């Protein structure tokens, strides 16, 4: 077990190496998480508004979530090769489930009486979604985003373990093969820092998008 001083010293010494591989991993995470949002949010809306899709897609989503990503990774390598696509898809798949499930729960959380009131005064379903359902769902959405962004890091690392020549996962494998324990722990520290920074960015975005929610929450705590 290397000491924290040794790990921090190695991170300073190999800062350029760690930064270079970190940027590769960050690119994979950002693309994978963005893809999960691009697919997951419209899918969640479709599930909320279609009982058929809800009954047919929910079991599929649960089944995909129960499959270990390590088992899917070799198949993706066969289909898409060793390039960026495999890592992006793994990051997307592993962050996809919490995004969809939290989005569905959020969109469904609108009070039925509020919905019926809007319809009774002639508001279109689109306006009800935009002015009532979406703002009401934002706390659930951001809860899913916070979980999803950290899981996207895990998905990218799994992809780098299986098929990669760049990234923190690849760097950790090569360090492990050389029995360079200090570099292995330095890589883990870098991954932890990346995860915390991404989580913090989502949290800051949440406060910017929902100032009213945090203001009410702070008032309730007092």
Residue 214: its pLDDT value, please?
Answer: 62
- Look at the alpha carbons of 51, 56, 59, 65 in this order and tell me if their dihedral is positive or negative: negative
Look up the CATH number of the domain holding residue 170: 1.10.3720.10
Residue 222: its pLDDT value, please?
Answer: 54
The answer to whether 32 and 91 have CB atoms below 8 angstroms apart is: yes
d(CA 135, CA 29): 27
- Classified as helix, coil or strand, 92 is helix
Mean per-residue pLDDT pooled into runs of 10, the chain (222 residues): 85 88 92 93 88 81 78 83 86 89 86 72 76 84 92 89 84 87 90 92 89 62 54
End-to-end CA distance of the chain: 45
How many structural domains compose the chain?
1
The answer to whether 115 and 165 have CB atoms below 8 angstroms apart is: no
Q: Nearest 5°: CA angle at 210, between 208 and 214? A: 100
Residue 29: its pLDDT value, please?
Answer: 93
Residue 219: its pLDDT value, please?
Answer: 55
What is the DSSP-derived secondary structure letter of residue 124? Answer: -
Residue 13: its pLDDT value, please?
Answer: 87
Residue 218: its pLDDT value, please?
Answer: 56
Assigned token pair, 105: 């729960």
Residue 33: its pLDDT value, please?
Answer: 93
Provide the residue range defining the domain that includes 93. 4-221
Residue 191: its pLDDT value, please?
Answer: 92
């Amino acid at each position: 077990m290397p000491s924290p001083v040794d790990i921090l010293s190695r991170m300073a010494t190999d800062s350029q190496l760690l930064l270079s591989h970190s940027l590769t991993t960050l690119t994979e995470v950002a693309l994978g998480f963005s893809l999960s949002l691009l697919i997951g949010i419209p899918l969640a809306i479709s599930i909320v508004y279609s009982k058929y899709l809800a009954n047919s897609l929910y079991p599929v989503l649960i089944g995909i979530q129960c499959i270990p990503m390590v088992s899917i990774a070799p198949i993706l390598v066969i289909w898409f090769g060793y390039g960026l696509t495999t890592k992006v898809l793994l990051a997307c798949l592993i962050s996809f489930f919490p995004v969809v499930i939290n989005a569905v729960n959020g969109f469904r959380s609108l009070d039925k009486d509020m919905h019926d009131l809007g319809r009774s005064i002639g508001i279109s379903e689109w306006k009800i979604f935009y002015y009532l359902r979406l703002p009401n769902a934002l706390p659930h959405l951001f809860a899913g985003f916070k979980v999803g962004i950290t899981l996207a890091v895990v998905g990218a690392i799994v992809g780098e373990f299986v098929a990669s020549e760049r990234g923190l996962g690849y760097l950790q494998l090569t360090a492990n093969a050389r029995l360079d324990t200090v570099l292995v722990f330095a890589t883990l520290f870098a991954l932890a820092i990346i995860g915390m920074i991404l989580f913090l960015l989502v949290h800051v975005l949440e406060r910017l998008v929902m100032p009213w929610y945090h203001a009410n929450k702070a008032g309730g705590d007092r």
